[in-house]
Amino acid sequence: MEAPGYRRWQLPVLLLCVNGVMTLGFTGACQRTNLCNESLMLEKLPACGKFFEEMMKKVDSKKWCNLTEFIMYYDNFTQCTEHEAKNASCFWPNPLTEGFITGIHKQFFSNCTSEKVHWEDPPDEILITLILIPVMLTCAMITLVVWCSKRSDIL
Task: Output Rg (C-alpha) for the chain, integer angstroms.
Answer: 31
Residue 18, pLDDT score: 65
Note the pLDDT tens digit of each residue in 66-92. Answer: 889 999 999 999 999 999 999 999 999
Measured between alpha carbons, how far is 28 from 23 in angstroms, rounded to an integer? 9
Going from N- to C-terminal start, the domains of the chain cover 38-110
The per-residue pLDDT of the chain, averaged, comes to: 84
Which residue would you say has higher pLDDT here, 77 or 33?
Answer: 77
Q: 56-93 as b/e, with b when 16 or more CB fall inside 10 Å?
A: beeeeeeebeeeebbeebbeebbebbbebbeebebebe
Measured between alpha carbons, how far is 137 from 106 in angstroms, rounded to an integer? 52
Residue 124, pLDDT score: 93
Query: Residues 128-135: what's their mean pLDDT?
Result: 96
Which residue would you say has higher pLDDT here, 4 or 50?
Answer: 50
Q: Which of 27-41, 42-56, 97-111, 136-150 has the lowest mean pLDDT?
A: 27-41
Query: Residues 147-151: what's their mean pLDDT?
Result: 86
CATH homologous superfamily for 38-110? Answer: Receptor activity modifying family (1.10.150.510)
Which residue would you say has higher pLDDT here, 141 or 8?
Answer: 141
